[in-house]
């Protein structure tokens, strides 16, 4: 039986093999390449990996992005670098000494000191390749060359909190060119009323389960790339009842050793959607859509402080050589370890501040007693 099958396979043309393999996703294509010599040969062709990247990241279809990817080593290498997600296993364990002082007691000088490395990295070195999908539909693609609004690199950008905003939205203007919306036609469940959605959260769950975000950072000088997004959401919020907004959070934990005293930072990618109801009232006669109103990136340390521009560039540069994994559970574990360490840091800081407050009160009482004792 196996001989017959082998003979049948070898009798097929290479063109047919190519037509079969070009329809596969990246992970399946890698597995198929291990099946036989012919599959292995075809699975190494750049045209195959172009199709894989085009289907996964629509932004890569642009001619300028394709040229960039070829300069990095080709689409096969680009997929290998950007499909696995960043996993940081070096999240520090929060420890406290006997005097109850913080091991992570960071001063302003720790964040704004002078470092010689800043001259080696520039905002113009980076390219952002961003794609948002809902299920099988591509919603949004954008490519940004350099870091926006960083012309005065050694001025305000250098020391101000780092942030990239891709989508601008104003409540006063309802006519937005190129706006990104989702409706029932895209697979969203119908919303009978906002009040009902507040109770059952059906739309919220469907959006959280179906939305996907990829935010690839490329350093042209280093010829390296990495995906900073978690692909699927790490969490989110429903801004009920005062607003009709969904806030969905993606991201990763990035190394900051020798850059910041906290050793690691969180890359926070926020996607915000607003429920827009048209028609009379919120009943069956109305039509409800979701409009994407915000897509942004920022870096925060373990105390929740925003990282400034110059340190962020160094962190992004270091992230390009960070460990990666195709196992999503490892990505979640890395994020959970960071969240746990961050919570322990905040809790111990609150307890320590409470002890200091009590000491101040006791010191004040002692001083008051001493004062009256001297008067009497």
The beta-strand segments (E) located in 170-310 are 181-182, 211-219, 224-227, 235-238, 245-255, 264-278, 287-300
**Cα distance between residue 272 and residue 270, in whole Å:** 6
Per residue in 282-299, pLDDT (tens digit) is: 444 456 788 888 999 999
Beta carbons within 10 angstroms of residue 185's beta carbon:
8
Express each pLDDT in 189-232 by its tens digit.
877 777 777 778 888 888 888 999 999 999 999 999 999 999 88
* pLDDT (0 to 100) of residue 8: 47
User: Distance (Å, rounded) from C-alpha 54 to C-alpha 56?
Assistant: 6
> What is the pLDDT at residue 33?
74
- pTM for the whole thing? 0.80
């Amino acid at each position: 039986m196996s001989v017959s099958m082998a003979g049948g396979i070898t009798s097929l043309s290479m063109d047919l093999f190519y037509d079969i393999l070009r329809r596969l996703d990246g992970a399946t294509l890698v597995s198929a390449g291990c099946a036989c010599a012919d599959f292995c040969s075809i699975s190494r062709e750049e045209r195959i990996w172009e199709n894989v990247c085009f289907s996964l990241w629509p932004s890569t279809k642009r001619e300028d992005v394709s040229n960039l990817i070829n300069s990095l080593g080709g689409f096969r290498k680009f997929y290998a670098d950007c499909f696995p997600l960043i996993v940081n296993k070096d999240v520090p364990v929060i420890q406290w000494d006997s005097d109850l002082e913080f091991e992570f007691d960071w001063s302003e000088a720790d964040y704004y000191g002078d470092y010689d490395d800043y001259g080696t990295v520039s905002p113009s070195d980076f390219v952002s390749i961003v794609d948002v999908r809902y299920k099988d539909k591509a919603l949004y693609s954008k490519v940004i060359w350099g870091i926006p609004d960083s012309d005065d690199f050694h001025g305000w950008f250098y020391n101000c909190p780092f942030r990239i905003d891709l989508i601008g939205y104003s409540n006063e203007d309802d006519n937005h060119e190129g706006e990104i919306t989702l409706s029932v036609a895209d697979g969203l469940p119908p919303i009978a009323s906002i009040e009902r959605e507040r109770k059952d959260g059906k739309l919220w769950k469907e959006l959280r389960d179906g939305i996907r975000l990829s935010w690839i950072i490329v350093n042209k000088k280093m010829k390296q790339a990495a995906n900073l997004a978690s692909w699927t959401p790490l969490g989110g919020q429903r801004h009920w009842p005062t607003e009709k907004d969904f806030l969905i959070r993606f991201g990763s934990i990035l190394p900051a050793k020798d850059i910041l005293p906290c050793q690691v930072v969180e890359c926070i990618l926020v996607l915000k959607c607003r429920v827009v109801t048209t028609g009379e009232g919120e009943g069956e006669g109305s039509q409800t859509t979701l409009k994407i109103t915000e897509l942004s990136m920022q870096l925060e340390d373990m105390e929740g402080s925003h990282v400034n521009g110059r340190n962020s560039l160094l962190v992004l540069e270091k992230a390009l050589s960070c460990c990666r994994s195709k196992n999503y559970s490892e990505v979640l574990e890395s994020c959970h370890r960071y969240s746990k360490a961050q919570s322990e840091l905040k809790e111990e800081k609150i307890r320590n501040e409470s002890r200091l407050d009590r000491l101040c009160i006791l010191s004040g009482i002692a001083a008051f007693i001493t004062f009256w004792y001297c008067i009497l």
